[in-house]
Amino acid sequence: MDLISTVLVGLPMVVSLMLLGLLGLMPASLRPQTTSAMRLVTFVISLVLFVVTTAMALGSLGEINWLTIGFNDYVLEFQYPWIESLGVTWHVGLDALSFPMVWLTAFLMPVTQIATWNEKKGAVYHPLLLLMGGTLMGVFVSLDLFMFYIFWELTLIPMFFLILKWGGKERRYAAQKFFIYTFTASVVMLLGLITVYFLQDPALAGDGAGDFTGRSFDLVAMTQVANDVHANGGIFLGKTMQSVLFVMLMLGFLVKLPAAPFHTWLPDAHVQAPTGGSMLLAGVMLKMGAYGMFRIPIALFPHAVETFQFAIMLFGFVSLVYGAIVCLGQTNLKKMVAYSSVSHMGVILLGIASQQPIGYAAALFMMFAHGIISPMLFAVCGAFKHHYHSMEIGAMRGMAKHSPWIATSMMFGWMASLGLPLLAGFVAEFLLLVAYWAAFGWWILGPGLALAITAAYYLWSMQRTIFEGGEDTQPPAGLEGKPIPDLDQSEKVAMLILAVATILFGIFPFLALDMMDAYTQTIFAALFGGA
């Protein structure tokens, strides 16, 4: 049975669209009464997805051994004709690159809902979150460039509405900037994809080729062709064209990642987005950029990766350092966390630039670890805003005394993000430093220092919110004379789940790292002829 199309993509998308249609047909006065029903239905669906993907991970569903999947080799692969004249197929499959992201999406969807369970968002909010999850799933399981692009753009629409409807004061500006910025980069990427499509040799396009154009959008076939060319010592499409197309595709992915200097949409979008939107945006949506890099340009154009190794390193390093320095100057808690994402995404680029299997594994693990840690950071920010009606660092002080839960969660999240050993973030950073040493030697001092800045801004913000001050501090406006609230029950549950996952993958990184490691070994063998 095609579990991917039916359960992972079909179920959330169909259910959410049905719920949205139902809400649209309903008289406006009835809509608020359905909120809890909507929340329950979407939560149950997210739980189903989580259970299914976890069963897949454990191998009890589909009997998959994730450690033996090689490069351009997929499990649960299904292909159906779609637009035959263009060679477009509905082609889905999973491998060790996409599966961690799929599991992450399925994991974060229920957690996001738990974390924002008591926020009063109205009925449309919950189906939109589910739709968001469905489109993200679609991006990660697509093995057809056309389908990939469709899901890639579709993710913008629910997020656009999430920001526009439930965002902060500047949500209108942020939502438009988010949409236009990423859409513009995507159309450049699209032109690159179309050019790749037409430069293929029609003779090698395989069965899926369109009868109209003689070519196919099938990524698996395309990767196979490129790989065969490289295996015979040739260069797929020639060296110059590889570079041009690599740049066009990377532009789309770098904006999504985002890497400095293309990051300016991110702080706006994050600061304005509602907590649930931020959690999914930081947790999964940013990873689309890194995932896309591995899936398309790196797999098709390994020679261009070598050509642009230094440029990628530069982008990564600038993102890492610039993000960290900007964080130091932030007074807005959520903006600081947003810039820390830019900084951590730089680590992924450095992992790619190192051109070591272990660096690739570090990048993959960073995607995964950041996907668990950053939602926790945004959940903390959301709770802070929810209870203290402010985002300013220092608006509430001495939390350790009066709000132990929120203080503990914040401290845990911050520590995980700055790379405390035994937590998930540390594994990725450590692997990266190893790879970086192997590739660039003493230049390792660069990222090393940048990670020290990371520690600085996190510790400094903790000092100003958790430890300094106490009973003598003035509470923020609106809370005068009232008891100072702490996390509510649902927020506590969400924080606990995220913390447990962070510890789990920190102490037993091999749960995810093994499959990533095995995968990167085969990537290297296929693309660069071994390490």
Query: Are 468 and 384 within 8 A, CB to CB?
Result: no
Q: How far is the CB of 226 from other proteins (least distance, A)?
A: 17
Sign, CA torsion 45/51/54/56: negative
**Per CB under 8 A, 108 contacts other proteins:** no
**Per CB under 8 A, 201 contacts other proteins:** no
**Per CB under 8 A, 203 contacts other proteins:** no
Q: How distant, in Å, are the alpha carbons of 148, 256, 311, 320 from that of 182? A: 15, 6, 21, 21
Residue selected from 74, 125, 140, 161 as contacting other proteins according to rule CB under 8 A? 161
Residue selected from 162, 190, 373, 379 as contacting other proteins according to rule CB under 8 A? 190
Angle at 89 between CA 238 and CA 138, to 5 degrees: 95
Closest C-alpha among 156, 111, 134, 129 to residue 12: 134
Tokens of 355: 């051109």
How far apart, in whole angstroms, are the C-alpha atoms of residue 478 and residue 484?
Answer: 11
Residue selected from 65, 184, 331, 463 as contacting other proteins according to rule CB under 8 A? 184
Residue selected from 58, 172, 329, 510 as contacting other proteins according to rule CB under 8 A? 172
Q: How far is the CB of 183 from other proteins (least distance, A)?
A: 5
Stretch that binds other proteins, among 47-55, 97-105, 192-200, 323-331 (CB under 8 A): 192-200
Residue selected from 244, 318, 325, 493 as contacting other proteins according to rule CB under 8 A? 244
- In this complex, which beta carbon is closest to other proteins, that of residue 128 or of residue 410? 128
Tokens of 262: 């293309």
- In this complex, which beta carbon is closest to other proteins, that of residue 214 or of residue 394? 214
- In this complex, which beta carbon is closest to other proteins, that of residue 269 or of residue 380? 269
**Per CB under 8 A, 226 contacts other proteins:** no
- Which residue's structure tokens are 């020639």? 238
Query: CB 442: neighbour CB atoms within 10 A?
Result: 7
- In this complex, which beta carbon is closest to other proteins, that of residue 186 or of residue 278? 186
- The DSSP result for 73-132, as a single string, is --EEEEEEEEEGGGTEEEEEEE-TTHHHHHHHHHHHHHHHHHHTTTS---TTHHHHHHHH
Instruction: Look at phi and psi of residue 132 and say left if phi exceeds 0, alpha if psi is from -120 to 50, else beta.
Output: alpha
How far apart, in whole angstroms, are the C-alpha atoms of residue 251 and residue 253?
Answer: 5
**Per CB under 8 A, 24 contacts other proteins:** yes
Q: How far is the CB of 197 from other proteins (least distance, A)?
A: 7
Beta strands in 143-252 (DSSP E): none
Q: How distant, in Å, are the alpha carbons of 154, 311, 422, 433, 456 from that of 426? A: 33, 26, 7, 10, 16
Residue selected from 149, 253, 322, 426 as contacting other proteins according to rule CB under 8 A? 149
Per CB under 8 A, contacts with other proteins among 43-102 are 83-86
How far apart, in whole angstroms, are the C-alpha atoms of residue 374 and residue 360?
Answer: 20
Reduced 3-state DSSP string for 77-91: EEEEEEEHHHCEEEE
Q: How distant, in Å, are the alpha carbons of 135, 288, 364 from that of 98? A: 14, 10, 10
Residue selected from 28, 203, 478, 480 as contacting other proteins according to rule CB under 8 A? 28
Tokens of 231: 């295996």
- In this complex, which beta carbon is closest to other proteins, that of residue 82 or of residue 460? 82
- In this complex, which beta carbon is closest to other proteins, that of residue 83 or of residue 449? 83
Stretch that binds other proteins, among 62-70, 191-199, 301-309, 463-471 (CB under 8 A): 191-199
**Per CB under 8 A, 525 contacts other proteins:** no
Q: How far is the CB of 149 from other proteins (least distance, A)?
A: 6
- In this complex, which beta carbon is closest to other proteins, that of residue 83 or of residue 311? 83
Number of residues that bind other proteins (CB under 8 A): 42
Residue selected from 48, 164, 204, 328 as contacting other proteins according to rule CB under 8 A? 164
- In this complex, which beta carbon is closest to other proteins, that of residue 264 or of residue 490? 264
- In this complex, which beta carbon is closest to other proteins, that of residue 86 or of residue 438? 86
The helix/strand/coil state of 142 is strand
Stretch that binds other proteins, among 17-25, 114-122, 401-409, 440-448 (CB under 8 A): 17-25
Query: Are 158 and 133 within 8 A, CB to CB?
Result: no
Strand partners, 94: 75
Query: Are 280 and 136 within 8 A, CB to CB?
Result: yes
The helix/strand/coil state of 475 is coil
**Per CB under 8 A, 251 contacts other proteins:** no
Residue selected from 6, 60, 240, 463 as contacting other proteins according to rule CB under 8 A? 240
Tokens of 199: 């430069």
483 φ, ψ to 5°? -65, 140
**Per CB under 8 A, 205 contacts other proteins:** no
Residue selected from 22, 47, 51, 191 as contacting other proteins according to rule CB under 8 A? 191
**Per CB under 8 A, 170 contacts other proteins:** no
- In this complex, which beta carbon is closest to other proteins, that of residue 84 or of residue 228? 84
Q: How far is the CB of 307 from other proteins (least distance, A)?
A: 13
**Per CB under 8 A, 204 contacts other proteins:** no
Stretch that binds other proteins, among 195-203, 336-344, 383-391, 461-469 (CB under 8 A): 195-203
Which residues sit at the interface with other proteins, rule CB under 8 A? 23-25, 28, 83-86, 149-150, 153-154, 156-157, 160-161, 164-165, 171-172, 175-176, 179-180, 183-184, 187-188, 190-191, 194-195, 197-199, 212-214, 238, 240-241, 244
